[in-house]
């Protein structure tokens, strides 16, 4: 209904277009071709929410503001950056970090230095998905936007030590926003590794116990 009123009154409803099945198929194919063309030529802006899969009203209300942390999903890991306004980000960038780098970007674990750079959010995101994620706001009080941006700009062009466990891109941006560098990505990865080792040890222990029981049963039978 276009507004509150009598539901049986036709004037309370907006008109709709009822298309034949063939027209719907044609419309779907045209839409797919146009969308594929725009995506292949990177016509869509990284901060555009309309006409993009995975975007909508929610993402439109979460436009980045200066000082926000940006989480970029690269498939097997997440790259982190700090939004500084006007479509630009500052991030700690290993030589292999780039949009569309794919598995090659994993070589960053071997890098021991990275450079603080300011680049366009749209260029760094590419065809990947991103979101605003100030993930530690509930744990630490964010610093003032002025201090965050001042410190970020003061580090531009600086080559810094890089370590996937102690000094990665997530450590860098959380240090700027909260004054404390943390990486939930590393925390979760280590947690998974520890659980995997624990499960393996339990399995070995269970196998050892079964072997001991069978050995005792054989001796009793003898």
Active site residues: 79, 91, 169
Handedness of CA 167, 173, 175, 181 (dihedral sign): negative
3-state helix, strand, coil in the chain (%, to 5): 45, 15, 40
- Nearest C-alpha neighbor of 83 from the set 138, 43, 46, 41: 46
Beta bridge partners of 70: 81, 132
Show contacts of 161-168: CB within 8 Å, 24+ apart: 161/112, 161/113, 162/92, 162/94, 162/108, 162/111, 162/112, 162/113, 162/114, 163/112, 164/108, 164/109, 168/80, 168/92
Beta bridge partners of 80: 71
Q: Are 54 and 129 in contact (CB under 8 A)?
A: yes
Q: Are 74 and 128 in contact (CB under 8 A)?
A: yes
Detail the DSSP E strand segments found in 52-172: 69-73, 78-85, 88-93, 113-120, 129-132, 159-161
């Amino acid at each position: 209904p276009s507004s509150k009123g009598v539901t049986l009154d036709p004037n309370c409803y907006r008109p709709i277009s009822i298309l034949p099945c063939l027209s719907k198929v044609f419309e779907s194919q045209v839409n797919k071709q146009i969308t594929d063309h725009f995506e292949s030529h990177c016509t869509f802006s990284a901060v555009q929410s309309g006409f993009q899969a995975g975007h909508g009203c929610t993402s439109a209300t979460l436009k980045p503001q200066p000082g926000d942390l940006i989480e970029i999903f690269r498939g097997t890991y997440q790259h982190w950056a700090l939004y500084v306004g006007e479509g630009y980000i500052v991030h700690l960038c290993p030589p292999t970090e780039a949009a569309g780098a794919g598995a090659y970007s994993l070589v960053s674990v071997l890098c021991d230095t990275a450079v603080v750079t300011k680049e366009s959010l749209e260029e760094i995101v590419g065809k990947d998905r991103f979101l605003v994620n100030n993930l530690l706001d509930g744990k630490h009080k964010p610093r003032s936007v002025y201090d965050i941006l001042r410190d970020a700009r003061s580090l531009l062009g600086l080559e810094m030590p890089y370590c996937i466990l102690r000094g990665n891109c997530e450590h860098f941006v959380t240090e700027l926003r909260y004054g404390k560098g943390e990486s939930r990505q590393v925390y979760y990865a280590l947690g998974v590794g520890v659980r995997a080792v624990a499960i393996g040890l339990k399995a070995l222990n269970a196998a050892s116990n079964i072997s001991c029981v069978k050995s005792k049963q054989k001796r009793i039978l003898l």
